[in-house]
Amino acid sequence: MRNRTIETLKEIGLKVTPQRQAILKLLDGNRSHPSADSIYRQLLGEYPRISFATVYNTLSKLAGAGKIQELDIDPIKKRFDPRTALHYHFYCTSCGRVFDVACETPFLGTLDPAGVKTIDGHRVDAIQLNFKGVCKECARKQRGS
Amino acid sequence: MRNRTIETLKEIGLKVTPQRQAILKLLDGNRSHPSADSIYRQLLGEYPRISFATVYNTLSKLAGAGKIQELDIDPIKKRFDPRTALHYHFYCTSCGRVFDVACETPFLGTLDPAGVKTIDGHRVDAIQLNFKGVCKECARKQRGS
DNA sequence: TTGGATGCAAAAGATTTGCACTCCC
DNA sequence: GGGAGTGCAAATCTTTTGCATCCAA
């Protein structure tokens, strides 16, 4: 495998363009759970003419193909996660950051997306377990102030 | 207790207005997980001059006081749920409806918001377990077409 | 009386769409 | 060459805000 981004795009039948490669490269290993806007702004440095539409369109297709995950956790915008393996998220209502939640946490063991096919007769395609609260850094700052 | 809506408003220190009572009355026992817009439109019949701002403001205060739950499950808008007891949700990506998920489902037993205080050192205020997919009715329609 | 609540309208954000031009296959 | 992809701008949709007026306490 020469270039993973090219492989990924070809796998899901998308044309390989510099913009799409840049989006995938930016997402690869990215643990910040960026929004489309944040991805767009980060790419502006390298691609001053890239458009919002391209970013949205690409993210949407990647998510549709299961190559990235679209998170419903931030109440004001979609967040994206390149990590597709089993894990969950914590959203800080103070700073807006999204953190991965360690899967070793006891009660998560019994919850496996791969094992749930239907629930109450409805076909399940995705499961999201979201925790919301105040992250430790924000909590420390608030105590200090 | 004469009127539950009045009690609820007084409990959280809000003035009792006809609009707020109407919002609470509409939510009481409502299992449709309505959006703010849908609540607003339903109230227009009874209160032709009610404003969006009033609906949003009231929903936000009720959610902040823990009297209703704000759901992050519909990717395009917030949904509200008057049911605050332990339960989870299924979102149909085809019709957009949100269904309650029966708590008896095996793997949910070990997951109790009341029992989780922190995770990875972050303070947890709320937990949402969301299932996404295609509901049985939409699945039937799609098979038939 | 008076501070909170309401209605209205405009603003702010996030996301989508239409379309002409571009360039990957 | 043809059709998918891109950039741009406008449109759409949801949510928030400012402010004058109103009304519950």
What pLDDT digit, counting tens, does each position of A7-23 carry?
A: 999 999 999 999 999 99
Q: Which residue of A has its CA nearest to B132?
A: A126
Residue A123 CB lies within 7 Å of the nucleic strand D: no
Chain centroid to Cα B101, Å, comes to 13
Closest CB from A70, A122, A131 relative to B135: A122
Distance (Å, whole) CA B140 – CA B145: 9
- Which of B60, B79, B117, B123 is the mutation pick for testing A, counting most A CBs within 10 A? B123
Residues of chain A above pLDDT 90, percent? 74
pLDDT of residue B115: 67
Q: Which phi and psi angles does B138 have, rounded to 5°?
A: -65, -35
pLDDT at A137: 96
pLDDT in tens, chain B (145 residues): 458 899 999 999 999 999 999 999 999 999 999 999 999 999 999 999 999 999 999 999 999 999 999 999 999 999 999 998 878 899 999 999 999 997 655 454 455 556 668 889 999 998 899 999 999 999 998 877 6
Average pLDDT along chain A: 90
Q: Which residue is nearest to nucleotide C23 (CA to C1')?
A: A17
Residue B1 confidence (pLDDT): 44
Q: What 8-state DSSP symbol labels residue A105?
A: S
pLDDT band at A44 (very low <50, low <70, confident <90, very high): very high
Chain A residues within 8 A (CB-CB) of chain B? 70, 72-75, 78, 90, 92-93, 99, 101-102, 105-107, 110-111, 116, 119-136, 139
Question: What pTM did the predictor assign?
Answer: 0.92
Higher pLDDT, A130 or A109: A130
And the tokens for B32? 């449709």
Q: Are strands A88-92 and A98-101 parallel, antiparallel or unpaired?
A: antiparallel
